[in-house]
Every structure is written in structure tokens, then in C-alpha cells.
Structure 1
Amino acid sequence: MARLLAPETLANVGEFTVSELSQALKRTVEDTYGHVRVRGEISGFRGAHSSGHCYFALKDESAKIEAVIWKGVVGRMRFKPQEGLEVIATGKLTTYPGSSKYQIVIEALEPAGVGALMALMEERKRKLGAEGLFDEARKQLLPWLPEVIGVVTSPTGAVIRDILHRLEDRFPRRVLVWPVKVQGEGSAEQVAAAIRGFNALPEGGKIPRPDLLIVARGGGSLEDLWSFNEEIVVRAAAESMIPLISAVGHETDVTLIDFAADKRAPTPTAAAEMAVPVRAELFVEVGGFSRRMMLCWSRSQDARRNELRAAARALPAANELLAVPRQRLDGASAGLPRALRANTHAHHRRFAQAAAGMTLKVLRAQVAHSAHRLSVSGQRLQHCTRAVLRHRRDRFDGLAIRLQASKLANDQAQRMRIAGERERMLRLGERARRALATLLERQRARVDTTGKLLTALSYRGVLARGFALVRDAEGHAVHAAAAVSAGARLSVEFADGRIGVTADGGDASGEALRPSAPKAASHKAAPKRAAKPADQGSLF
């Protein structure tokens, strides 16, 4: 049974406000635990908040704790949180008074073992594979002998030296190295930027564009090689228009860039061997081709020479070739006179037959027939001419009627258009007159207002109130008595005109000069006056 405290005892317990109690609990939790490492599964993660912070929970079989990662920490994290992933979180345990709960503010996040990384890698592989980034159809063929080779790797490691030595042994080529970090925070972004940077180089530019790219790194654990499993690196490799060889880790190491690259090499040295052939072997192969070519050419020449000799032996002599044509020529020359006489007789017979048919009666009949045909054709021509003229006349009459109707309609339309334009011109003229009158009225009011303002600001208004303006001989205004010497010529301007005066000398104490000019001018020139006229206003 719980023991109940007496009312007198409860009266002696100190009182806390809600805020004081929350702050006391916050200090107790933070002082007792401080930095902790918590292992659990990420739950309720829906991506970064609009503010950039990440809110989720870490849970296991029987408990759950709220977690938060501030925006600045998220940007520096190499490993990003994902829903359902088992992680080890390092951070500070604290409370959130707004909802009376405790939470962990995470400062570092890492996967809980290699199994989690492999699961994440397999999930990312399925996602990118579904997008078609690993399809064999989109992979490019490697150039047989590239002129320039671009290498993306660390400049301080042994990988670049192995690649250069292997290229020097096999076939020396020009190599461009893009130095990057191959491990740690920011390494994935640098590798992706290097791949895209090589692809962005222009053809024929100051820096030659590589014909082949090699992304290389030495061996290491899965965590060390994780930069080459990042999505940004895989997408950059898949988008590369330059053929790319992936040479990350040893032969047993597998990263996602291996699937997106055009070729995978088990080691960086093997990548160099894939990039270029062996120069000595090429020399031997070219020499063998040259010898085989000369041998084939020699055998071909011998075969053709033998064929020519056999053909020459099989050909008959020149006399034998011309014997038959010569005999045919003799037979043709012997039968030529007889054929000429027969041909002449045949042509004479045909001419006699044609002359027998060319009598006067036949000619007259042909002329009469031609005249009859001519008269009939003339009559038909006259009839056709009359029909055509009648048809054209009817057509022209119809066109004239249509033209007359079109002219009337056009005249009516033009009159209506002119009337409309005249009415529009009158309306515009009336609007212009009203606008001009309004503009003139506004400008007149503006001029009046400006004139009043000018009058109010002019110094002549001050002169009209009884003051005077003193100028020296050059016409400059005199602002102080000390600027006037004895005997100086001065000009005093009143509201109704100007007068000239001569200044008298003053005493040693700096007393104002007392010119022999009229009283109004002396009042304006001297700062100290014995008396002020009753009708003179004050500037202040």
C-alpha cells in the first residue's frame, strides 16, 4: 500500500513552475548521459524537413527514442539516414520541453555492420537497374588505341603509379590525371565532378579531351569503397559520353560503378592493360602482316605470269586469224559489180512505176479534192469562229453585269467605311480637344503653383519686408562685416532698387562697419543694430 503524506508534510515541499521543472529535468538528463552511442532501426523518416532538419525515431524490439539531426550536420554526413536501416547513432541526449519527451540530437551516423551496407547497396542497385543505368545496350566500345587517357584517382596513392608504369611498358600514351579524394566525406561528389568535368572538355580545346576514362582506387573494406556506391557517382558514370573503365578495389571487390561503367577491370593495372595494346606485339604483328603481304603479292605475280604464257601459247598466229576475213573480203569484192547493177535496175523500175501514176488527170483530181477540203475547212472555221465569238460575248456580258454589281457594292462599302471613319475622326477630335483642355488646365495650375513657390522662395520677398542685400564691387553677396574693408565700394539692393555706398573703418574689437549709406543699407550690412524699424520683419 502506498503511504499517503500528511497535509503538513506536503505543505513543506518546494513548488516548481512547469518551465523550471522542465529545465531541471533537461540539465539532469544532459549532465548524466552527455554523449551516447545508440543502436537501432530508423523509423518514421520521410526525408528532410523544409527547414533542412531531419526528424525520425530509433527503435528496437521493445522501445523507441525520438531523434533529430540539425541541418548543418546533415550536410556534412557521408552516410544519410534511410527508412528501415539499422544504424549506430552518436549524439547528445536531451529533452524537448514543448512536448515533454526526451530525444537524441545526432552528430554522427553510421550503418550497423556490413550487412546493413550490403542491404543498402542491393536496394540501390535494384533502383538504379530499374532505371536502365546498367543495361548492356547503352554501354560503349572502348577505343582500340586512345590518344589521351583521363584518370580519376588520388594523386598520392600507388594506383596512379601502377597505371602509368603499365602504360609505359605496353604503349606510352598521354595521361591526364584529375586528382580527387577516393575515401571519406565529399569524395563521391569529387569523383562525379571529375567524370563530368572530363566530358565537358571541348574538342580541340587547350586541354585535350580524353578518348578513354579510368576511375581507379586501390583495395579496401566496404566502408572504404562506399563512395563508389553513391548514386551521384553511378549516375555520372552512366551519363559519360567518353568510354569509361571502372577499376575500383581488387578482383573480389564489387561496387555499383562497375555496373554503370562501360568496362570493369579487376585491378587498376588490369585497367591500364585494357586501355592500350602491347606495342612490341603490334610491331611483331605488323611485321608478320608485311611479310605475308609480300609473299602473297609474289605468288599472285607468278600465277598471272604463268596464265599470260599459257594464253600466249593458245593464241593462233596472225596470218591464221586474218585468213577467213581476207577470204570473205575477196568474195564480197567479186560480187559487188553485179549487186550494183541489180540495185540500179530495181530503183529504175520503182521510179517508172511512180512516174506512170503522175498523170495530168490524177493531178487535177488531187487539186480538186484539196480545194474541196479547203472550202469545207473554211466553212467549219467560220462556224466555229461565230460560236466562239458568241460564247465570249455572252461571257463578257455576264462579267460586265457582275463588275457593275461589284462596283456598286464596293462604292456602298467605301461610303459606309468613310462615314464610319468620319464619325470616328469626330469622336477622336472631340476627345483630343477635351484632353488638350484638361492638359492645358493642369499645366496652367502647375505653372501657377510653381510661380507661387518661386515667389515664396525668392530673396526678393525678403527685401519686400524691409531687408537689404549688400554686394561688393564684383557683385558678390557680403555675409559678414569682417569681409568689408574701410573705403570699400558696396552695392545695397532694396525692394525698389539699388544704391552705391562706401564703407567706413571699424574699431579694433571687430565692431560692425557703419557705412555712410542710407539707414536701410546699414541695417542690412551690420549684424549689430542699435534699433530696428517697426515696419521691418524678422528673418527668424
Structure 2
Amino acid sequence: MADPFSDTSSARLVAEQVPGDNAPAMSVSELSQSLKRMVEGEFGHVRLRGEISGWKRAASGHAYLALKDADAVIDGVIWRGAASAIPFQPQDGIEVVVTGKLTIYPGRSKYQIVIDRMELAGEGALMALFEKLKAKLAGEGLFDRERKRPLPYMPRTIGVVTSPTGAVIRDILHRLADRFPSHVLVWPVKVQGEGAAAEVAAAVQGFNALPQDGPIRRPDLLIVARGGGSIEDLWAFNEEVAVRAVANSAIPVISAVGHETDTSLCDFAADLRAPTPTAAAEMAVPVLADVRHTVATLAHRTERCVRRYHERAGERLQALVRILPRRDALLGPQRQKMDDMAGRLDRALERRVTLARAQLDRDAGALRPAMLDQKLRAASERLAALSSHLKLVHPNRPLEKGYAWVEARGTRKVVGTAADARSAQAVTLHFIDGPVDARVERPGGKTYTGSGPEQPSLL
């Protein structure tokens, strides 16, 4: 029977219902919805294994990816709730096993898988993820040797990040008590399972956030520890959030994750890796008995050094004493010189006294009574001559002959010229027997005012 849908000879310009045709035309949306129902009904729950490609997390929190193998590829979507529950950080190239349901996205007419759970496809895939993350963080320099810091020799406080109930913390505390009892702060965390890596990172950051002088002392050293297990059990210490917290810690960190053969990325990021948690405690502190022995040895050596120093100093002093001159040899010349100067001083004093006595005798001879009378007569004659001369030059001497001297009245200023008299107007005349007041007048009895040419007279 011929397929009516393949008959091109009956094609028409306008679509019409063909007799016997019981398949009316469907819309694209109707076909998409029909396919969606069929696929979801047939593949309501599937598990797929494939390699992640094009991993992308949107701002909404949803994640988009493609799963591929050698011959095919299928798109996938993980809603935000399921994406946050993935126990590792998905990356391109990692082989995984996902669980979900198939559906069709009508907007693009593409089928895809809505993933509810994602797991690594065996330890091989886990190791591949480990190597990828290791290469990424190493490229950023988080594992460089230059970042490693020396551990404090005797930490006063040690912070331990581990499970509070496991054997690890007991082993660490027991070993510390045996070697060097120290103050220990334990930050309890999950060391396996969902959220363990975030708790480890928060603990390391929390210890670093403690103030130096706060009520809880900030540790001088951190130990991040966990017992042995498979790579899956230890995976929390391979997650990026925990590794970055260890690498960025301002407090030196010892990583003690697993047994000696186990390796985690926290081991590479820490300042020192310990093969076991017990070994971490041994690395953290010295042996107290060894410290005491070292202190005692150093004290003994110090005492010997001091004693040897004193002995050598005494030997040097004795050697110097032997080569130094004796006291009599050093002070003999000075003593002799002092005796010589003392003798010279005595002779000089005797000579000075003799000279002084001779001078006194000469001066005493000059003080005889005859000599004194002669000197007194000469002095009296000089005094009489000076007295006669004084009488001759005395200012009152001319007054005895009828002269007078004039002063401006009330000023004690001598008037020596007619001009000065005209200026004064009132004057005082001093005679031998006393003063007389007078006025300066014009000729004819008028008082002179100083404005005319007339010569004043003194009457």
C-alpha cells in the first residue's frame, strides 16, 4: 500500500483534507510535548556513564554540562539543590556516573538528562580529578617551597583540626603528653562526607582569626589530622576549599592525613607533612628530657667558659704584673725631686726672711725723731703756702674791695652779661655782707621788657 504522505504527485498549493486521511496536521509544540511524555515515560530513571564536557555553573546556581563517550554526546542539567550536594568539584575531562531522568527541552527540540546525583566513575576518575586539581593549584604557586615556613621550636599553644571522637586526637594528646606537655586547642570537624572540607577550612580560618591577646590564646602551630582510609574517605582533604585554607594560613600547619602511603593535597599545601598523626605530634614539639639535657649541657659549658675566661684573665694579669716596673722604681725619681724641692724651699725662705729683716732695719732707721721733725716742718710749710694761695683765689676776695656778683633771682644762675640781665629782669646782687634783690629797668625808671633798644641800668 502506498504511503499517502510520500505521494508528491498530489501536492497542492493549499493544504486540504484528503479522503481517507485520519492524521490531521500537528503543531510543533504538540509534537514536542508528545515526544517529551514518551521519553520521560520510557526513561523515567536512568544511569549514564560518560566524560564531563563544557561544565558551567550559572549565576542561579544551576549547572549545565554534556556527557560524552567515543560515539555520542548528551546534554545535562543539574538544578541548584542537586548541584550543591555533589561531593566533589566537577571538571571537564572527568569520567562520572550520573543518575537522573531523560526529558526534552521543547525550546530547542533537544533531549537531555536532568541529573539528580553525580559520582566519580571509580578510583581512576577520582585520581584524574586529583591530578587535575593538583596541577591547577601548583600552577598558582600554592605548593612552592618558598611558601613553607619553619615550625616554632617550642609552641606554647597547639591547635588541632580533627574529629573529636576518633583515635587520632587521643594519639596526638598522648604523644604530646609524653614528649612535651603543651596547651592544646581542638577544633572539632567532620573528616569525611558531605561538608567535611568546608568544616576543615572554617576551622583553619577560625584559628587564624583568634586575636593574639584574646581570652583564647591564638595557636603557634596547627595540626590538620585524620586517620587512614581510601582515597574516597580522604577526599575532604583534597577539595579546593580546604587546600586553599591550609595554604593561606598565617599559622604554620602540619598536615597529618591518613597513613604514610596516603597523600592528600593538604599535604602539599601545608608547611610540613607528617606520615601519621602521631608523627605530627612528634614533629610539633621537642622531647622535654632532651631539652632539659640540652639546657644542663649548655649551663655546664657556660660555667666552664666563664671559669676558663677568669683563669685566662688571671694569667694575663700575672704576666702584666711581671713586666710592670716596681713601685719604688716608678716613684723613686718623684720622691727624690720632692726632697730636693723641699730643701730648696727651706733655703729660699731663709734668704727671703734675711732680706726682709734688712729692709726693715733700713726703714726703721728712716723713722728717727729728727727725721720725723724735718718732714713735719716741710709739710707745714707746704700747707701754709697752699692756704695763702687759697685765700687769694677765693671768690669772695673781690667782694671785700666793693665788687658784687649777680645771679638771676631764684635760679642760682650767675648773670655775667647785660643781655643775660635783660632776659632775667629780676636779679639778686651778692655783696660781701649779704644779697640784695633788684629789678632791671629802662632809663627813666621804666621796667625793661626786652623790646626796645635802650640799655638797662642796674639801680
Does the pair score TM above 0.5? yes
Instruction: Give the SS at the match of 2:119.
Output: strand
- 1:43-442 aligned within 5 A: 43-45=53-55, 47-328=56-337
1:68/1:286 Cα in 2 relative to 1: closer, same or farther (>3 Å)?
A: same
Residue type of the partner of 1:229?
A: N
Instruction: Give the SS at the match of 2:129.
Output: helix
The answer to whether the Cα contact below 8 Å between 2:156 and 2:220 also exists between their aligned partners in 1 is yes
1:4 aligns with 2:13: no
2 CA distance for matches of 1:178 and 1:21? 59
1:41/1:308 Cα in 2 relative to 1: closer, same or farther (>3 Å)?
A: same
Instruction: Give the SS at the match of 2:307.
Output: helix
Deviation at 1:251, TM superposition (A): 2.1
The answer to whether the Cα contact below 8 Å between 2:89 and 2:239 also exists between their aligned partners in 1 is no
Match 1:36 to one of 18, 28, 46: 46
Match 1:26 to one of 22, 29, 36: 36
Instruction: Give the SS at the match of 2:81.
Output: helix
1:35/1:312 Cα in 2 relative to 1: closer, same or farther (>3 Å)?
A: same
Query: Which one has a larger percent helix, Structure 1 or Structure 2?
Result: 1
Instruction: Give the SS at the match of 1:44.
Output: strand
The answer to whether the Cα contact below 8 Å between 2:65 and 2:76 also exists between their aligned partners in 1 is yes
Deviation at 1:278, TM superposition (A): 0.4
Deviation at 1:261, TM superposition (A): 1.6
Deviation at 1:310, TM superposition (A): 4.7
Deviation at 1:327, TM superposition (A): 4.2
1 CA distance for matches of 2:322 and 2:107? 117
Deviation at 1:282, TM superposition (A): 1.1
Deviation at 1:283, TM superposition (A): 1.5
1:15/1:315 Cα in 2 relative to 1: closer, same or farther (>3 Å)?
A: closer
1:353 is aligned to none
1:57/1:330 Cα in 2 relative to 1: closer, same or farther (>3 Å)?
A: same
Paired residues, number: 336
Which deviations, in whole Å up to 9, do the C-alpha atoms of 1:110-156 show, x marking residues without a partner? 22333333333333333323333223333322111111111111112
Q: TM-score, normalised by structure 1?
A: 0.56
1:301/1:55 Cα in 2 relative to 1: closer, same or farther (>3 Å)?
A: closer
Instruction: Give the SS at the match of 2:229.
Output: coil
1:62/1:323 Cα in 2 relative to 1: closer, same or farther (>3 Å)?
A: same
The answer to whether the Cα contact below 8 Å between 2:88 and 2:239 also exists between their aligned partners in 1 is no
1 CA distance for matches of 2:176 and 2:297? 24
2 CA distance for matches of 1:263 and 1:209? 20
Higher relative CO (Cα under 8 Å, sequence separation at least 6) belongs to: 2
Instruction: Give the SS at the match of 2:100.
Output: strand
Residue type of the partner of 1:96?
A: Y
Which deviations, in whole Å up to 9, do the C-alpha atoms of 1:254-303 show, x marking residues without a partner? 22222222222121111111111001111122222223333333344444
Identity over the aligned pairs, expressed in percent?
A: 60
Which runs of 5 or more structure 2 residues have no equivalent in the other structure? 6-17, 349-459
Which deviations, in whole Å up to 9, do the C-alpha atoms of 1:210-256 show, x marking residues without a partner? 11111111122222222222222222122211111111122222222
Deviation at 1:22, TM superposition (A): 4.2
Instruction: Give the SS at the match of 1:124.
Output: helix
Instruction: Give the SS at the match of 1:58.
Output: strand
Q: Which has the larger radius of gyration?
A: 2
1:13/1:285 Cα in 2 relative to 1: closer, same or farther (>3 Å)?
A: same
The answer to whether the Cα contact below 8 Å between 2:161 and 2:203 also exists between their aligned partners in 1 is yes
